[in-house]
Amino acid sequence: MDTSNGPFQDLERILITEAQLQQRLQELGQEISDTYQGRELVVIAIINGAILFLADLVRQIKMPLQFDTIRVSSYRDETTPVQAPEIIDKIRLNLKGVDVLLVDDILDTGGTLSKISQIIREMQPASLKTCVLLDKQTPRETEFEADFIGFQIPDAFVVGYGLDFAERYRHLPHIGVLKPELQNPPQWP
Ligand code: IMP
Ligand code: MG
């Protein structure tokens, strides 16, 4: 692939390569399959961020499963005060009495996963665990730890493999740190 121009040039450095992602996903899939042996899993992924992760992860889980996606409101880039995230789309699967694995791209402050976990718990699943591709080393207000973690990363703004800045860069096959001067370009909406 020609990486000499376009979105690839917007990265300060690559943090996780495509090969490292695929290798770790195999291991994660194995860990998850071992944990839920003999049971049937319902995977709920938060989109858009977890789309690529979900697609690759479920192909590494060797057991019966169902999956669905949820969209969560985010006020991050707006001028309105940051509010607690809410599920925009109703979850269509009946989660009562089933084992649920909630999947997100990245754990940052923990606000998103703790709020969505609380909403899912109200649906009375038999169990609820969380899985994140990236665990950012940020000081957390909410004490939240994910059960399955792909990679620990430093406190930097990363994009690629589903992660965006203003909806860009999600399609990159690797994960990298966005150049700081591109994190708030005035010409972007
Ligand atoms: P939290 O609620 O602070 O844990 O943030 C989780 C959400 O923030 C993720 O689902 C991402 O959409 C977004 N996010 C946090 N850090 C990054 C980053 O470095 N790059 C892209 N998105 C991020
Ligand atoms: Mg996002």
Does ligand 1 lie within 6 Å of residue 151's CB atom?
A: no
- Left, alpha or beta for 161 (phi > 0: left; psi -120 to 50: alpha)? left
Check residue 3 and give its pLDDT.
63
Please state, in angstroms and rounded to a whole number, the distance separating the CA atoms of residues 158 and 108: 11
Pairing between strand 99-107 and 41-47? Answer: parallel
**Is 108 known to be catalytic?**
yes
Which residue has the CA at smallest separation from atom 17 of ligand 1? 157
127-160 confidence digits (pLDDT tens): 999 999 999 998 877 789 999 999 999 999 999 9
Q: What pLDDT score does 79 carry?
A: 46
pLDDT of 139 reads: 81
Find out whether the beta carbon of 70 lies less than 6 Å from any atom of ligand 1.
no
Mode of pairing for the β-strands spanning 65-71 and 175-178: unpaired
Q: Which residues in the chain show pLDDT less than 50?
A: 78-79
Catalytic residue among 108, 135, 147, 164: 108
Per-residue pLDDT, 93? 92
Write the CA distances from 39 to 32, 106, 119, 127, 182, integer angstroms: 11, 26, 23, 11, 45
Ligand 1 close to Cβ of residue 110 (< 6 A): yes
Q: Which ligand is nearest to the CA of 85?
A: 1
Q: How many C-beta atoms surround the C-beta of residue 113 within 10 A?
A: 25
- Measured from the Cα of 163, ligand 1's closest atom is 21
Pocket probe for ligand 1: among 44, 48, 106, the residue whose CB has the most ligand atoms within 8 Å is 106
Residue nearest ligand 1's atom 19 by CA: 157
pLDDT in tens, 25-39: 999 999 999 999 999
For residue 78, what pLDDT is reported?
Answer: 47
Q: Give the ligand whose atoms come closest to the C-alpha of residue 157.
A: 1
Decide: 46 and 116 in contact? Cβ < 8 Å: yes
